[in-house]
Structure 1
């Protein structure tokens, strides 16, 4: 335990030793060298190793006047609440085969980074002249690999802010029948749903146009949705309020297909991707033709690629061709079969010839 000058209580959380390595490519060596003064640096995007946040600073003209003829690299500790972090790190210049150059392979002893902003590095990593005359500078670029091993503790404030649960609150707004404010009634089949226009409009551009479009003289109080099952709409509505789906839905692949169509109709992009991911994980010979047609019709490129990759197997392809889904695919999406043929190797494969004949 420790206290700062403002008497804010804090708790220490010990961490285990963690290691990682990263490859850094320095592009535009000449430009950065010409534009930047001695002591100026380019900072990497912060990265984490274990519980700690770090960045690397690259000084194309050295980190101080006495190192002006060299390239310098430094490691900075960025974590706000870190204390006494012990780290061992390395910087290695890589050759054209991504192998470390022996003469530029620096491995540090263990150093103590006492607080945020603490740093350590190599002020004379390599002379600029030596790099420029070497074969390791290619197209004005060179590559360095950094390795880390760290161990320390975080001194975090004892007051922590929990994650927001707006989804829970909005979900209660939908499910609690005693709450007022629902201003639209939606009929789907024989079922009736009550909801809030503003929430539906915020989540879907289609509902926004329906309720608040420029050509709408009076906002409708009731709407009817056709060509959709009530169970599908119930899940769509649940997602609009909760930004998630009930756990029970994950067992139903057929429902994922219907829900994908609904998400596409109402332009609920994240829900559409969730359904794509679900279907991509459950591709089999019986379902792949139907899923491929669905992906083509609703512009699901990731799902389409997963289906085509599955059908790259001759066994899977031939089994798919014996299903009713294949007959539907031939009629509804002949263009995707042409794309499938183009991917099949060798071109005289038996299944490929059969598909070609079917398209005549």
Structure 2
């Protein structure tokens, strides 16, 4: 009887490129003065080194070719003679669009550079569009060129596949804690807020907030095992949302039209109980609600509760002369003067520039 065929052997490998990544910022200062450069002529950036090679960016204020005379063209060039071709990817963007985050180069083309051949967007942006955009400020703009240089390729052996006998489910700890809050099983403290009572667990709250920890277990301990802790100056719905976050690290769903008001109250509560993550979540959401009608309230809130990011967002909104003038002429400015005199210096300095 013939022997059964054995299991075929298997091996695998992967080809992985070795790369070097970086970016160069090119500021065009005095943009209007470069508009007289003839089409096809470039202004060179300073040289920079990446991947062992010298590079520069070519800025063509009136396009690289006649058919693109209404555009700004940009090119990435090798800055010196090379004996072999260099393979790289690049992506041009405005620096204020990407800030400190690298844009994705996954979908960009790998180009081969030589001492004579550069690559870049020949129609990066129409000059007329740039001049109407927010990218051009004080007659200048900054461009960022992200570059990935491919140094070489290497082959690596891959381990044999291991059959997946066990599948690990995603964490459901937050759901278990939410159920614990909902059922009140094992609750050992009761809070009275705005005429409503909420049962909770001392250990959970103490783990989530140093203020709760001090109040429930420390020298500031409030209430006994069967006692009730009274919370003043807070609405019941706000405290309920605070508890939800303490147990699940997420906020309950709120009607869209009520989200800004709830976030204002929750920010105050988060600051009161030193729950920094909740506080920054509220800050981030409130940034979306800054407008002419709300900026006074939100700026006051940011100043009183030391929310630097939210304060900067408000001052950025007031950086518009129209928005600042509207505030200075409103009753909100008088309220701001009384409640937060420290921010008035900022506004006076800004108004001097209007």
Matches within 5 A, 1:111-122: none
Match of 1:320 among 317, 327, 330: 327
Structure 1: stretches of 5+ with no match in the other structure: 8-17, 26-89, 110-143, 350-360
Question: Within 1, Cα distance between the matches of 2:202 and 2:304?
Answer: 29
Q: Give the Å deviation of 1:344.
A: 4.5
Aligned CA-pair RMSD: 4.1
Taking structure 1 as the reference length, the TM-score comes to 0.56
Match of 2:238 in 1: 232
Contact 2:270 2:276 in 1 (8 A): yes
Aligned CA distance change for structure 1 residues 234 and 145 (closer, same or farther; 3 Å): same
Match of 2:189 among 163, 184, 188: 184
Match of 2:274 in 1: 267
Question: Within 2, Cα distance between the matches of 1:275 and 1:289?
Answer: 17
Q: Give secondary structure in 1 for the equivalent of 2:312.
A: helix
Q: Does 1:243 align with 2:246?
A: no
Match of 1:213 in 2: 218
Q: Give secondary structure in 1 for the equivalent of 2:264.
A: helix
Q: Give secondary structure in 1 for the equivalent of 2:254.
A: helix
Question: Within 2, Cα distance between the matches of 1:320 and 1:4?
Answer: 77
Matches within 5 A, 1:313-352: 313-344=320-351, 346=353, 349=354
Q: Give the Å deviation of 1:107.
A: 4.0
Contact 2:187 2:199 in 1 (8 A): yes
Q: Does 1:146 align with 2:149?
A: yes
Aligned CA distance change for structure 1 residues 342 and 323 (closer, same or farther; 3 Å): closer
Q: Does 1:93 align with 2:50?
A: no
Match of 1:53 in 2: none
Contact 2:87 2:149 in 1 (8 A): no
Q: Give the Å deviation of 1:274.
A: 0.6
Match of 2:287 in 1: 280
Aligned CA distance change for structure 1 residues 241 and 217 (closer, same or farther; 3 Å): closer
Structure 2: stretches of 5+ with no match in the other structure: 1-6, 11-16, 25-49, 58-75, 89-146
> Aligned residues, how many?
236
